[in-house]
Amino acid sequence: MGRHIRRSTHPEIIRAACCGRHANWHVNNLKANEMTIEAGNVTKGVTTNDKPRRLRLGMVGGGEGAFIGAVHRIALRLDDHYELVAGALSADAARSHRSGAALGLDPHRVYASYQDMAQAEHQRPDPIDAVVIVTPNHMHAPVAEVFLRAGFHVICDKPLTTTLAQAVALRDLARTCGRVFCVTHNYTGYPLMRHAREMVATGVLGDIRLVQVEYPQEWLAEPIEQTGQKQAEWRTDPARSGAGGCLGDIGTHAYNLADFVTGLKLDQLCAELTTFVPGRRLDDNVNMLLRYQGGARGMLWASQVAPGHENGLRLRVYGTLGGVEWVQAEPNVLIHSPLNESRRLITRGSTAACAAAARVTRIPSGHPEGYLEGFANIYTEAALAIRAVNAGRPIPAEVHFPTMDDGVKGMAFIEAAVKSSAAGAVWVTPDFV
């Protein structure tokens, strides 16, 4: 990033420089993001009766006992762009059908396998528009490939695959098929992360020098995978999780969020992956130094053995003109620290928040929006992209969601970190292909 003229100290000028908007944004934002409710349909930002039909979704994985499947189902319904109509919800056919019945799905559209689902839906007069993949990591690539080849759009949990080679092959296939492929790095959906991104892009922080990101949890501080705990069991199994444990599960979220906000290209990393819990087969703690192109330096810490931390995602970015800090547990507040000035609080939905944040804000300031709403923003952005592609139109420029390219970068990040740690924490250049 080039040098920037020192900013004004006047708050309104600062906000305008960041967001390129006028002072009466708040009123206009509330009008633009009006939730129109008619005939049981809720559509964000739509003020016409001519509403498109809901997109039909199928889901692979996410049946009984799965945590993230339920989260996806809540998020996809929130803005009413989708309806879940089909599923292969478990590799166990009986469990899949029990799960489908519990969700009120047509039993004829609850399938024993994802292969059966892709074939049957392809032949229906009312097929699904897209598939949601919420399986353990090792199934992401094979499921996505089958549905891409059948002509469906894909929304897939992260990490994209278990190897970089798989990710690149899948990316090439998605490009050939011309389908939308969304990877649910959902933290990029928070409004204030959109605001922070605009602050970096427009030079409000100056030239970026430091990037600090961390994601600590405590839930794997004991060997609960040995008790049969389903979520822990597959996440600590290299055959199902891939080469990274904590690294792939939450370290990729931390890397992706820093990448999204700063726009900096990672040049090298130096990683130490540690397994603290005896008998565990994958890492449960990650310490990493980062070197970015242009000279910025960073640190990344991810841990699943840190008592007292529930879901402690935190991002701090510092430049020559100031810094920003955001904590996922308090997602409606962004701290802006201009150089040589007092810290300022930017709150979601307020007049201080920019237009990019306003696009994905539903309600006025003081009414908290959190994890489910941020997740829903990714689904809504994906819906806008799918509708555009289906209609033969370009995806609107303002629409942002994690794509196949982000998924590939995540896999390159994982493989570089594993390589670095295995060699004794040496500097490695990720293979961003």
Give the C-alpha separation, 159 to 162, whole Å: 7
By three-state DSSP, how is residue 408 classified? Answer: helix
Mean pLDDT of the chain, nearest integer: 89
**Residue 12 reports pLDDT greater than 50:** no
Per the structure block, which two tokens stand in for 263?
Answer: 């726009």
What are the structural domains, with CATH classification, of the chain? 36-186 (3.40.50.720), 187-428 (3.30.360.10)
Of the pLDDT bands very low, low, confident and very high (cuts 50, 70, 90), residue 172 is very high
Strand partners, 110: 87
Give the C-alpha separation, 353 to 356, whole Å: 8
pLDDT at 153: 98
Average pLDDT over residues 268-296: 98
User: Per-residue pLDDT tens for 15-42?
Assistant: 333 443 333 333 334 333 433 222 233 3
By three-state DSSP, how is residue 283 classified? Answer: coil
pLDDT at 61: 95
More confident residue, 271 or 64: 271
User: Per-residue pLDDT tens for 108-153?
Assistant: 999 999 999 999 999 999 999 999 999 999 999 999 999 999 999 9
**Residue 221 reports pLDDT greater than 90:** yes
pLDDT at 4: 34
Per the structure block, which two tokens stand in for 74?
Answer: 């809540």
Burial of 53 (0-12, 13-18, 19+ CB in 10 A): exposed
Percentage of residues in the chain having pLDDT higher than 90? 86
The CA angle 145-150-154, to the nearest 5 degrees, is 55
Average pLDDT over residues 244-262: 97
**Residue 294 reports pLDDT greater than 60:** yes
Per the structure block, which two tokens stand in for 146?
Answer: 């089958």
CA 231, 400, 373, 368: dihedral to nearest 10 degrees? 130
Give the C-alpha separation, 89 to 214, whole Å: 33
The H or E element that residue 25 is part of is helix 25-32
**Residue 97 reports pLDDT greater than 80:** yes
CB atoms within 10 A of CB 325: 17
CA torsion sign for 14, 15, 21, 23 is negative
By three-state DSSP, how is residue 215 classified? Answer: strand
Beta strands (DSSP E) in 193-296 are 208-216, 266-274, 285-292
The H or E element that residue 345 is part of is strand 344-347
- Please answer whether residues 82 and 57 qualify as being in contact, where contact means their C-beta atoms are separated by less than 8 angstroms: yes
Average pLDDT over residues 411-417: 97
Give the C-alpha separation, 425 to 268, whole Å: 12
pLDDT at 50: 61
Of the pLDDT bands very low, low, confident and very high (cuts 50, 70, 90), residue 67 is confident
- Please answer whether residues 346 and 192 qualify as being in contact, where contact means their C-beta atoms are separated by less than 8 angstroms: yes
- Please answer whether residues 402 and 241 qualify as being in contact, where contact means their C-beta atoms are separated by less than 8 angstroms: no
